[in-house]
Chains A and B, each alone.
Chain A
Amino acid sequence: MTALALENLSIRYGTRPVVMDVSLSLAPGRTIGLVGESGSGKSSIANAVVGLAPISGGDILVDGVSAVGRGRRAREARRGVQLIFQDPYSALDPRMSVGDSIAEATLATGRKWTRAERHHRVRELLERVRVHPDRAGDLPGAFSGGQRQRITIARALAGEPQVLIADEVTSALDVSVQGTVLNLLRELQQDLGLSILFISHNLAVVRYMSDEIHVMCGGVIVESGPTEPLLDGPEDPYTRQLLSAVPVLGERMTFEEHVTP
């Protein structure tokens, strides 16, 4: 059983291929990390899965049901996947209270909600991400970056997804609050049994979050496997290059010694 499966997924913008023949399958309750550099196609995959970008080939299965196209079944399948955006400053409508933003997302459950139920649910979700529920009426401007990112996570949860896609969720945050967001995601996963597709360019963060890593380069997956073995013995030259480029605290970086002119 897989929560999310990509089968030979291809995406192109105009005539330019950005993702080619990518397959992966995400088991329930697990995390797959997708690592790669800018332009490698990671975010295109995220957009395609939630229906924000058209695909040019292959299939996307959510809980075994194809989530491709405009049909009712596909739309329902897509609702099982929610996306957390990179920049918490543009991910919340500046003129809508955070409570309303979260309430709007309950639409994705496909159920009818009464006012009271919705109100209750918003408070519950805010509490869950550790924002005081009494602040539901505040506009996003009143919150710090880390809090906003937690609120966008609450909004994603309001859709009651089985799969969360976290697209560079810490890149726009200051170092000191990145940890909170990562901890929260891990905790939610344990409590709710979520499956997470964790996308980042930061290998250390992906390593920390994921059970399994897929390395992307130029629109294709060049190497994949369970986290530890893959990082201990990378086989693809690109993975090796990536691994050697990550700085390690307190350790002098090694450079090839060139003959200097």
Chain B
Amino acid sequence: MSRRLPPTDVVVVGLGWTGSILAYELCRAGLRVTAIERGPWRDTPTDFPTTTAPDELRYSIRHDLFVRPAQETLTFRNNRDQTALPIRRWGSFLPGNGVGGAGVHWNGQTWRWHPWDFTFHSSSVERYGAAFLPHDHMMQDWGVTYEELEESFDRFEYLCGISGKAGNLKGEIQAGGNPFEGPRQREFPTRPMQMTAAPDLFARAARELGWKPFPQPSANLSEAYTNPYGCKLAPCTYCGFCERFGCGNFSKSSPQTCVLPVLVRHPGFEARTECQVTKVNLSADGRRATGVTYVDTAGQAWEQPAALVLLCAYQLFNVRLLLLSGIGKPYDPATGEGVVGRNYAYQVTGGATGFFGEDRLFNPFIGAGSVGMVADEFNADNFDHGPAGFVGGASLACILSNGRPITTRPVPPGTPRWGGAWKRATRENYNRWAAVGLQGSVMPYRGNYLDLDPTYKDAYGLPLLRMTFDFPENERKLSRFAVDRCVEAVQAMGAHTVRRNEISGPYDIVPYQSTHNTGGAIMGSAPKTSVTNKYCQVWDVPNVFLAGACLFPMNAGFNPTGPVGALAYWAADAIRDRYLPNPGPLVPA
């Protein structure tokens, strides 16, 4: 039996990047905001002190910062003919947990997605014709454009203090930046990171190949920075413990460094941690959210009434919460109807690892999650896809993020997996390897989707989310094409041996690939084909707004945090300037 609490103005479910941005912006608009977070409170000096944060075993291997599968997991299958089984240890992706969410343990690669990405369907049809698009695709535009989001991208970058070099200032291409990026109104807030040996070598090789490499826009900061909220960051020390770790040096942009110092001081804000939201409660007619129900660590259920509910959990868990709450019609792959669960997408990863002679020393232990050089020639629609025969693209990057002792031990193909020969190869190659990686788009397809599992339940007796996914032929073509480019680059860098890393066989949930899951509760321009309108407002329940990558109708060749942050500001503006003066649907259905 749940106990009812006094009402609040806004409930935020999940206190990560989007939850903290929306909470602070709405507190500043005068609202009382209650954030409910499943995991623990986390702060820089108390939880990630520099003396204990760089612990590969605890964080990288034992997944200390991630959600425990016993708390919440999902079931997985490659296609509808299989029976999905629960994931009992995270592999392919690592959902965050606790205050700061994935914003704590990310690498900090911060992109504005291409203008093309937001109109990927109509632009592809226009250039290549509808017949060129892959079989069974569910491609559709976002309903919002790059031009509309430009200011929001800018605000997120200045919140974080992103280190980078502009490639396109108000339409003028800038030397040293990404010439393919959409126009930006001003330069990055801080200068690019200092490059290490491997990215430098890659940049030289890329130029020889006729590409235009540029520094990875980075949330590991090149210099000290004070953001518009007054929060401060210190320069990165290149310690090589970003991904899967919290940063003890205040050098990585995160909710902890960029928002929470001011948010926790705001009298309108309250956080409840270690409380799991199990349901968004609806009015009898289902047209209005009345609040949420959550369960605390003692097992007590509480009802928190609220005028506005913002779902800011990780992509997968936002989708599950919608399904558990009966918000939006669940997607049915048999008919193609319904909206919640459709357009689930992932990313193509891989690349080429090169092994070099004795004249090269890369010192991989000098690294950071976003120290690297990128080539964007084969991403989005930056090249002619006609001869390539697929839709989408990939960014190629040389980012030597770490030389951590347990997992960073690349050896050339053919080396035994253990024993004296493996030890010798490890010793010889630890400092003499460099990789060029790719991050490739995945289009939405009829058969890749999320729904509730018919069999497996969580600790509260609620059905787990079920993921049905595999890489279609279009993405496999992209993988082969982009890995070929990576191999060219590594060869041009002078490697004597090159290992290809590419998709083979069905998508495998076990080896880590990317925590860039997207879709399932997408934004769009029509209620029949999307969960929210262009303002991230749920069509059917206008006092519920969504945040995060669940809104993306496709997945691109870049990391998703840039548009995730931009859409949070976009939604905050819409709530404050459009919804609050006149609560109701912001776009007529």
Is B truly associated with A?
A: no
**B interface list, Cβ under 8 A from A:** none
**A interface list, Cβ under 8 A from B:** none
